[in-house]
Amino acid sequence: MTPDDIRNLFDLQRQASRAQPDVPLMVRRERLLRMRKLLDEHGPALAAAVQADFGMRSPRLTEVADLFVLRSQLAHTLRHLARWCRRTRVRTPLFLQPARGWIERQPLGVVGVISPWNYPVQLALAPAIGALAAGNRVMLKPSELTPHTSAQLAALVSQFFAPDEFCVVQGDAATAALVASLPFDHLVFTGSTAVGRRVAQAAAANLTPTTLELGGKSPAIIDADCDMADAALKIAHGKLLNAGQTCIAPDYVMLPRGSEAAFADAFRAAVARLFPYFEGNPDYASIISPRHLARLRTMLQQAQTLGAEVHAMEPVPGSPPPPPQGIGDGVGRQMAPVLVFGATPGMQLMQEEIFGPVLPVLSYERLDDAIAHINARPRPLALYWFGRSEAVQGDVLRRTVSGGVSVNDTLMHIAHDNLPFGGVGDSGWGAYHAEAGFLRFCHQKPVLAQSRWSLGHLLYPPYGARFDRIMALLRRLMQGGLNGQG
């Protein structure tokens, strides 16, 4: 697809959106039902494409982390769409009565989506579902690092949708840059903070509003009174799902000084329970590419050189032997989980989002120290707290800012149908999922319908004594309302 082809597709969608600014509820529902049919009929083919791109990633992992999440989102959206689409009436202040006011929820027009490779189905289609529900047209640019999945998405979307409704454009980083430069009515980007800055700059040239989901170094705080075995299991699951290639994976752990050995033992037991072996284990994803694997190994080498203790997890004795190399070209990229003790701020793994199965463990003397450490750094996409005390939990929630939080668990806040999902500060801006996502892709147009009995003319010039009396009366009425007297 040439740059001119992409621009022509965009023009087609833009013209369609301008020709039909108001998209009926029936049309929106029918588009969502087509999306559900696409997933129901071709979910296995999409999972096979993801497996081909990773080299080793279980279709069952794609089922739970990509397809199930999308099916849940679709069911929730279809259930609530009629209510979300209704105009919202608002109270009219006394000085404007008997006029009426309300908010119309209208489609923005054309929404662009630039999606990443780590959950290449979910993170491509989830924002598209929200945008279609809000009545928009959608242009999707999936990642070039998952070419099989991107090609499958392009073929399926063209089968189930007209190009002026929803289309997929494929290509490399230059294609993504071109898409980011188009004058969308809204642009969604999921990826690294560095690339997110460039996307925001390109969008700003067109005054295109953006939703950026950028990741970051999400901490997991362990309180002294927590159930260590339970915390370690949930942290291991959150860290090792998709081999750590998850934007809200715990990036590092903070725990009370003196409990390092207890956590290491509990984490090792949790890993053995979840993944008795790594190489050849179909449940354990491979690192997406040799380049990404080399980056992780370089991080570990630097940490060791600077004095950190690196503890790689070992397979459980007696677990199945490594399979022949011919079974999946990603077997050689299935990196064993690693704990790192003694990490310092100057190490690369404490400066960048890790995005792999490497977990630094930091110690704190007091909870205040842990909170100060988090607050001295860019705001994370997620924060996790483990403990029993509601008072301490409330203290952590009040004194930290993050995109989202799971208490006594990891990842699960993203699966809650009624919770928005997004970042804050360096981890992004804007949120989608649920009604918040629907509203993100709407223009909430305020409308005032004036009454024939309007008294607004009393405030017209020429000003004089009557105007002064009316303004004095209005001030008294407003002050009375503030004092609970009106």
Q: For each of the chain's 486 residues, which pLDDT tens digit applies?
A: 899 999 999 999 999 999 999 999 999 999 999 999 999 999 999 999 999 999 999 999 999 999 999 999 999 999 999 999 999 999 999 888 899 999 999 999 999 999 999 999 999 999 999 999 999 999 999 999 999 999 999 999 999 999 999 999 999 999 999 999 999 999 999 999 999 999 999 999 999 999 999 988 999 999 999 999 999 999 999 999 999 999 999 999 999 999 999 999 999 999 999 999 999 899 999 999 999 999 999 999 999 999 999 999 999 998 777 665 545 678 889 999 999 999 999 999 999 999 999 999 999 999 999 999 999 999 999 999 999 999 999 999 999 999 999 999 999 999 999 999 999 999 999 998 989 999 999 999 999 999 999 888 888 999 999 999 999 998 888 887 554 443
C-alpha–C-alpha distance, residues 252 and 356, integer Å: 11
Tell me: do 325 and 286 sit in the same domain. Answer: yes
Q: Which residue reads 């362990």 in tokens?
A: 222
Tell me: do 10 and 64 sit in the same domain. Answer: yes
Whole-structure pTM value: 0.93
- Find the catalytic residue in 85, 167, 213, 442: 213
Tell me: do 238 and 334 sit in the same domain. Answer: yes
C-alpha–C-alpha distance, residues 223 and 133, integer Å: 41
Active site residue 353: no
User: So what's the pLDDT on residue 480?
Assistant: 73
At residue 51's C-alpha, the angle toward residues 45 and 56, to 5°, is 160
Tell me: do 40 and 72 sit in the same domain. Answer: yes
Number of domains the chain is built from: 2
**Residue at 60 is within a domain:** yes
Structural domain of 236? 219-416
Tell me: do 173 and 242 sit in the same domain. Answer: no
**Residue at 462 is within a domain:** no
Tell me: do 154 and 19 sit in the same domain. Answer: yes
Identify the sign of the CA torsion 238, 243, 244, 247. Answer: negative
C-alpha–C-alpha distance, residues 359 and 264, integer Å: 11
- Find the catalytic residue in 247, 279, 353, 435: 247
**Residue at 175 is within a domain:** yes
Tell me: do 36 and 122 sit in the same domain. Answer: yes
**Residue at 361 is within a domain:** yes
Tell me: do 44 and 184 sit in the same domain. Answer: yes
Q: What are phi and psi of 347, to 5 degrees?
A: -80, 145
At residue 281's C-alpha, the angle toward residues 239 and 348, to 5°, is 35
Tell me: do 176 and 224 sit in the same domain. Answer: no
Active site residue 442: no
**Residue at 465 is within a domain:** no
**Residue at 158 is within a domain:** yes
Domain of 109, CATH number, reads 3.40.605.10
Residue 354's nearest CA partner among 297, 395, 398, 406 is 297
**Residue at 448 is within a domain:** no
Tell me: do 143 and 178 sit in the same domain. Answer: yes
Domain of 259, CATH number, reads 3.40.309.10
Yes or no: say if 403 and 427 are a contact pair by the CB < 8 Å rule: yes
Tell me: do 229 and 371 sit in the same domain. Answer: yes
**Residue at 53 is within a domain:** yes
Tell me: do 107 and 195 sit in the same domain. Answer: yes
Q: 338: part of which helix (H) or strand (E)?
A: strand 338-341
